[in-house]
Amino acid sequence: GENVEQHPSTLSVQEGDSAVIKCTYSDSASNYFPWYKQELGKGPQLIIDIRSNVGEKKDQRIAVTLNKTAKHFSLHITETQPEDSAVYFCAARSAGGTSYGKLTFGQGTILTVHP
Amino acid sequence: GAVVSQHPSWVICKSGTSVKIECRSLDFQATTMFWYRQFPKQSLMLMATSNEGSKATYEQGVEKDKFLINHASLTLSTLTVTSAHPEDSSFYICSARVYLGRGTTNTQYFGPGTRLTVL
């Protein structure tokens, strides 16, 4: 099945700096890669996603890049703000095998933005 | 984005009792719903996948007789934790996905979660 590794586990930045979180996946059949933000005591909220036929996608301060050959994708947050502080999860959805259609999550990154 | 609700948001129960958690997609019809479990400071672990009108498919290691899932309609799925024990205490999160066809994103949206504490 799919295996997703996420790094770093914690990330601390100053307000206004950029933050980058990286994920690698194992299943070359995976074709959809969403990123979720989870605040304490709440459910995950989709912030951006990318399909395997696209290399990069941007939405205001948030961008995601995908390298299919290397099987890794990254979340980039620019001009970070204190309200960006949360746990971020990457995920990969397989398009084949026993994991078809299921999201496999990374371990999560605790992002702290200091004012 | 689409809205998924869960009820209750938190519940405390005695050991041995059963607890039902409801998950609703409020503004779209969900052909598939998922139930996840999350322990403190850990990632989400998929428990089961359910399609409307079909039996749920459980992940390896998840007891189907303990975690009963019913996907009665395109907007409602329920998870019943039967004979709950303290080790069942966790954060349970449902997720709903609408199928728009092959080649589309079929985005998955999550509910706010239900905190279950079994005494």
Of A41, A51, A103, the CB nearest to B108: A103
Backbone phi, then psi, for A98, in 5-degree steps? -70, -20
For the record, the structure tokens of A112 come out as 């702290």
DSSP character string of B1-38: ---EEEE-SEEEE-TT--EEEEEEESSS--SEEEEEEE
User: Which SS3 state, helix, strand or coil, does residue A17 take?
Assistant: coil
pLDDT of residue B27: 86
Q: Which amino acid is at A108?
A: G
Q: What is the mean pLDDT of residues B81-97?
A: 96
Per the CB < 8 Å rule, is A43 touching B113?
A: yes
CA distances (Å), origin A37, targets A28, A48, B44, B59, B118: 25, 9, 12, 24, 27
- Whether B9 shows a pLDDT value over 90: the answer reads yes
List pLDDT tens digits, range B18-55. 999 999 999 888 889 999 999 998 999 999 999 888 88
- Whether B119 shows a pLDDT value over 80: the answer reads yes
Question: Could you list the mean pLDDT of each consecutive 10-residue stretch along chain A, which spans 115 residues?
Answer: 94 98 95 96 95 93 96 98 98 80 94 97
Per the CB < 8 Å rule, is B112 touching A102?
A: no
- Give A 45-104 residues with CB within 8 A of chain B: 45-46, 49, 51, 89, 101-103
User: Which SS3 state, helix, strand or coil, does residue A45 take?
Assistant: strand
Of A43, A101, A106, the CB nearest to B93: A43
Count Cβ neighbours within 10 Å for each residue of B30-62 and write b for 16 or more, e otherwise: bbbbbbbbbeeeebbbbbbbbbbeeebebeeeb
Any B CB within 8 A of A43 CB? yes
